[in-house]
Structure 1
Amino acid sequence: MLVAPALGAEGREARFGDDRPLTDAELAPVRALAAPAARLAFSGPAARCRQTAAALGLAPAVEPALADLDAGAWRGRPLAELVTTAPESVASWLSDPAFAPPGGESVAALCARVGGWLAGLPDGGGRVLAVVDPAVVRAALVHALALPPAAFWRLDVAPLTATELSGRSGRWNLRCGAPLPLARPVATGVTSSTID
């Protein structure tokens, strides 16, 4: 089960991998949620992944193979700026899975890295949960479902949703975009104090 972290300033600003920590306000919605039960818990190394996992009550192992796409020289820069200053490079990045930003990683390399992690999971070992960046979720889906790497940009991953791969390496099944459950059930009935 792959859980996307809370949305922080980096995501709202479409800024490449500057790994800003989440604020208390950005973490507040996470604290109302519960992590799905799992035998093993992992987190990508980004602060937003580790903070989201902690706010869900997890104590995950930080897994370097689950790091976000390395943006290289683009790190910390907003996408809008790069569209203006390097439009050909951005167009190549969005259309060619083998293209990498200067000093960075290609989508194809990310898919291979995350695919190697998935393939290394033990068969029949029970549920595994990982709080990871949306790019890592996309890469896992491309690998698990044997999609062409160009499909990477066609997969949307919303914050604080779970994408579940069940089965095993070579035969994965997909359940995508499930909201995380609330930590405490919300009362839904009418009470006498709400009636005039």
Structure 2
Amino acid sequence: MTSRVILISPASNPSLRQARFDDGRTPLDESGTARAGAAAWTPRSPARVLTSPSLRCRETAAALGLREGDPRAELAGLHVGRWQGRTLDEVGSAEPEAVAQWLADPASAPHGGESVQQLCSRIGQWLDSEYVADDRTIAVVEPDVVRAVVVQVSQAPPTVFWRIDVAPLTATEISGRAGRWNLRVGRPLGGRDTDG
């Protein structure tokens, strides 16, 4: 039994461009919607479509022409507690030690939300559940969810989480069989899905 999951990062929106901790309610702007529409993508075979619950992920799925996605709480981005809605620069100026600790220690959560380690564990549990699905899944998810998938699949330590760049509107693919995931990262979207 083989499962294939294609993770798509959302189009840019003002929060992504401003390095703002998104509250999940910020829509795509005109530019993000246009870029997602230009990358419209057709899966080769039927697939179930999932999304992070954020508005930008749901709107990206729609702009890509994917059928309506099923928002999943377990695919939510990293919850950053009281930093939600603020920019990284604002938080860095107000709480420089907390930001430094957060970026260096994946187990820390000085914002009162979820640690990187907890996010990676949550995404690992979701990946374990994907083994039972003998199908293709397309998931439009937050960049930090893609990072967590890469950490889990490559069995890397969570300390590499912040070293993984995830560009907007790229696909990261995993396929699994017999208790093992294979990884393909960073494919730009556009046109028809030509693989399996």
Task: Assess same fold via TM > 0.5.
Answer: yes
Structure 1 Cα separation of the partners of residues 36 and 121 of structure 2: 30
Cα pair 2:120 2:148 within 8 Å, conserved: yes
1:70-85 → structure 2 map (5 Å cutoff): 70-85=79-94
Letter in 1 for 2:38: A
**The one of 148, 167, 171 aligned to 1:162:** 171
Question: Could you say which structure has the larger radius of gyration?
Answer: 1
Q: Indicate whether 1:14 and 2:23 are aligned.
A: no
Q: Indicate whether 1:27 and 2:33 are aligned.
A: yes
**The one of 121, 130, 138 aligned to 1:121:** 130
1:172-191 → structure 2 map (5 Å cutoff): 172-182=181-191
The structure with the largest strand share of the pair is: 2
Structure 2 Cα separation of the partners of residues 36 and 113 of structure 1: 29
Cα pair 2:42 2:191 within 8 Å, conserved: no
The CA deviation string for residues 12-71 of structure 1, in whole angstroms up to 9 with x for no partner, is: 111112231112332011112233525211000000000000111221111110001001
TM-score normalised by the chain length of structure 2 = 0.88
Structure 1 Cα separation of the partners of residues 139 and 133 of structure 2: 17
CA separation of 1:165 and 1:2: change in aligned 2, threshold 3 A: same
In the other structure, the counterpart of 1:50 is 58
Q: Percent identity?
A: 50
Larger relative contact order, structure 1 or 2 (CA cutoff 8 Å, min sep 6): 2
TM-score normalised by the chain length of structure 1 = 0.88
SS in structure 2 at match of 1:120: helix
In the other structure, the counterpart of 2:48 is 40
Paired residue total? 183
Gaps of 5+ in 2: 1-5
C-alpha RMSD of the superposition: 1.5
SS in structure 1 at match of 2:36: helix
